[in-house]
Structure 1
Amino acid sequence: MAANKLSLKLVIDKKSNRVLFAEAGKDVVDFLFSLLSLPIGSAVKLLTKAKMMGSFGNLYESVENLDATLINNKDLLLSPKVAASPLNVPVLIQNDEATITVYKCSLHPHYGLFSTNPTTTCPMCTYSSQYMSTATAYTPPNMVGKGYVKEQVLYMVKDNLTVMVMSSTAIIALLAVFGIDNVKSLEEKVVDLGMDEGLELLRTSWQSQNVLSQVFLTKKEK
């Protein structure tokens, strides 16, 4: 993602040093919506315990520290599968392949029962305890090349990450909400959205209603 940064145009109220909204294309909105497909376990792993809000980091660390013999599947919690992402959507974690490997029971291959763990006992094999260990490929619903939203539309992303179609009516209404009657108090600023900014957006979205302002206008201490 660092080599494939996106850009968005911020509209800033200079007086309050706050982002009123950002003009964003399909690629940025696809990225924002892709955050909804990110499992919490993967988010904690990305952000690290130090940057986590509340106690989720402690849960993650507890799983890490517990002996593997006490947990059925550590990887399921520490590195959960990420929902399939459309091509060209810059997510924080990407699946390496469009298909994933799932497992079924060799004795009941046509019952539609699958598992991501080859040591799962087949529920149909009540007495034999047969493992669902026969590998097969599963292709998630086809969104490849489509993304989440339509192209040829300009979107408005508010400071709290509310996304809507850009329109003069929406802009006028937003200016009225903030009591801005002079457009000279506004400035535009084009910013990059890469891996670092994406992680900050993810973290800040769990803590604040002023996400864009905090990520792009607040100076971070080194």
Structure 2
Amino acid sequence: MSSDSNTPKIPVKLLVDRQKNKVVLAEAGKDFVDILFSFLTLPLGTIVRQLEDHHGKPQPTIIGCLANLYGSVVDMGIDNFSTEVCKEMLLRPRSVNEDRFRRVKVNLHGDATRYFMCPMFDDKSSCSKWYSNYSTSRCSCGKLMDVEIGLLEDDKVTDLVGDGGVFVSGQTGFIITDCLNVHLNSVGLVLSTLKGLGYADLSELGTLVIDVGFKEVMTLLGCLFTSDSTLTDVFLRKQSLYRVPRMNAAAYRLGQGCGNKISGEVIALTVFVKKQDRKILCFECGEDFIDLLFTFLAVPLDYACQICCFNLGNVDPLWRSFDYLCCNKGREKSTLKCMLPWYYRCQNELLYVAYQQAPIYYRCISYTSGKFTRYSLTSDINKPLVYGWDKLVPMISVDPRLKNSSESMAASSGFVKRNGRFMVSDDLTVTPLNSSSTTFLLKKLQVHLDDFEEQAISIGKNEAATLFRASFLTSSALTTAFRSLLAKNPKQNRRV
């Protein structure tokens, strides 16, 4: 994790209304804009973790129920997961483009992708064909794959120089409004923006140069969800990060579209509902629904922006600027598609996301007098032999959720153990199902035993998307997403 002492300081010039103590405009270069846009590429679980690490445990209302969902992974014992690495994958979710995003001056994605293989790779040919991105994976021989292997220099993502950038390469100056609309700098834009804000001249305005480091970046990330005047709150007012976020009424109408006939894969759920107000107390479910929920933590923020029709802080203006400057001007459009690492795929794929193909690398080996002397990985089979390597061995990526590399990939179907039972409360707190968890929930909610009833529903892709929106926007995700699916008469439990 970076700290403010070892990260670069990025200058940002603020045009300030001194009387109102308000940022009117900010002028910045591509380094600062790249940082803002990098927020949108962060997995939602990473956002929760970064805010908790830097500011302390946030109030759940900042980003709906996601803090509760992340906390559930933290609190669940390792014996509830398929393998040890499953928990690590969710606590530190990975992005398919994280090595590229690491070129941002203040990187919040975390450490670079690493590669590991079995320590017996030189003695057993059966151990030589696997690699993993996690050191807790096990080889077919039973040993931990904990020998790190690096990439050839040609395969590494290196820092750009000159006019290069991550998202806004080739551009030099930008104007940023208080609500995080980002535009290319121009005289006409500045004049029209000032006029639109009611300024006839600059007599009321002054300038202030701020050096933005890690601390300011983390405050920007938090205020992105809670403030509609982000720059002012971060740089001038320094208000509390954890105000209740501003949301529009659409968040509470998310479940109204549910109820059509479901086709394709479905997940069956047992629902416990309060009779009086039809509020959902909890779900009783199997591993498929838990895998769906935990996958939310690996989804990047920009995907949430695409499918959520909401007004939460200044997320939407920033995303629209990102869409316009980075994706509609000849840049790669892949950054706007929800592509997850291939090892996050689950058996029931109810989210509208895509998964990358497992990459194939080649292990390069050099020998001296028949003895192994050095090794590396490359993705280009044509280069290593030219550089003096003696042998290439194809390496296949191991799904880290498998107990060992000899298992069929079909065995890797999710994050938690198969045939388990779990309880999910309305705010997406997940606990293994037992008598203690049930009584704890009932005491917490102060519900009389005669005040709830049991129903059964099934959900498909549309309902999963509705739940994802609700988990991001509300503190009662299950009720918001699924109340319309509940039968008015519990004896006629509704299965859609």
TM-score (norm 1): 0.70
Partner of 2:339: 81
Unaligned runs of 5+ in 1: 103-109, 116-135
Q: 1: distance between equivalents of 2:326 and 2:339? A: 22
- Structure 1 ranges of 4+ moved more than 4 A: 67-71, 110-115
CA shift digits 1:183-221 (9 cap, x unpaired): 3321112122212211121111122221101111158xx
Letter in 1 for 2:276: K
Amino acid at match of 2:345: P
Q: Percent identity at matched positions?
A: 21
Structure 2: stretches of 5+ with no match in the other structure: 1-261, 362-374, 381-393, 402-408, 486-496
Stretch deviating more after TM superposition (6-15 or 140-149): 140-149
Trace 1:61-210 onto structure 2 (pairs within 5 A).
Answer: 61-66=320-325, 73-79=331-337, 81-84=339-342, 85-95=344-354, 98-100=357-359, 111-112=376-377, 139=397, 141-143=399-401, 144=409, 145-146=411-412, 147-181=414-448, 183-210=449-476
Structure 1 residues 139, 40: closer, same or farther in 2, change over 3 A?
farther
Separation (CA, whole Å) in 2 of partners of 1:148 and 1:169: 23
Question: Out of 482, 487, 495, which is 1:216 matched to?
Answer: 482
Instruction: Please tell me whether the aligned partners of residues 272 and 282 of structure 2 are also in contact (alpha carbons under 8 angstroms).
Output: yes
Query: 2:284 matched to 1:23?
Result: yes
- How far apart, in 1, do the equivalents of 2:452 and 2:314 lie? 39
Deviation at 1:31, TM superposition (A): 0.8
Relative distance call for 1:78 and 1:86 in structure 2 (3 A) is: closer
Other-structure match for 1:56: 315
Greater relative contact order, per chain length (Cα 8 Å cut-off, separation 6+): 1
* Cα distance per residue 1:71-115 (max 9 Å; x no partner): 7x433531253122334132414446642478xxxxxxx654779
RMSD between aligned residues: 3.3
Residues 142, 52 of structure 1: alpha-carbon distance in 2 compared, 3 angstrom cutoff: farther
Contact 2:291/2:346 (8 A) holds in 1? no
| Greater helix content | 2
Asked if the contact 2:270/2:284 (under 8 Å) is kept, the reply is yes
- Asked if the contact 2:422–2:433 (Cα under 8 Å) also holds between the matched residues in 1, the reply is yes
User: Do 2:266 and 2:459's aligned partners in 1 also have CA atoms closer than 8 Å?
Assistant: yes
Distance 2:326 2:279 in 1: 47
Q: Which amino acid aligns with 2:476?
A: N
Aligned-pair distance for 1:38?
Answer: 1.3
Distance 1:92 1:112 in 2: 33
